[in-house]
A = this chain, B = another copy of it.
Amino acid sequence: MERRHSQQRERIYQTVAASYGHPTAQMVYDALRREMPQLSLGTVYRNLRQLAQEGRLRELDGPTARYDSVLRPHSHIRCLRCGALADAGTPYDPALDQGDVARGWTVRGHDLLFHGVCPACAEKIENQIY
């Protein structure tokens, strides 16, 4: 699938790049609607996903909430291929919360989320099962 240039995609990228925060798809859509009144929200979603796949943008967070009964702070690891989530052994480091994390913010704690490939997916990749 050859990739073509499109004005919409470029403006979507620029909008994210120019933004101070980390905008959601809706925020990008709202920001661009003034100058591109017939832009569609579907186009924004399509292009953000595509830009993330190309590696021009990074996607933060996943869309579905998960629950954990282990209350002691600990880290997790998510499979890049199948989305599985597991506990990681890396201990919580309270020292991280002490530094000057962000100007004006009060830090309460942190989550450490690794990404990688889970054992089941590693096996499938090894056997070329895509």
Which residues does A use to contact B, with CB under 8 Å?
13, 16-17, 19-25, 28, 48, 51-52, 55-71, 75-77, 79-80, 84-90, 96-97, 99-119, 122
Contacts and interface: CB of A to CB of B under 8 A. Distances in A.
Contacts of A87: 102
Contacts of A20: 86
A86 B117 CA distance: 28
Given A66-B61, A102-B89, A96 B112 contact: yes
Contacts of A57: 67-69, 71
Nearest to A119: B104
Given A109-B114, A116-B105, A119-B104, A65 B63 contact: yes
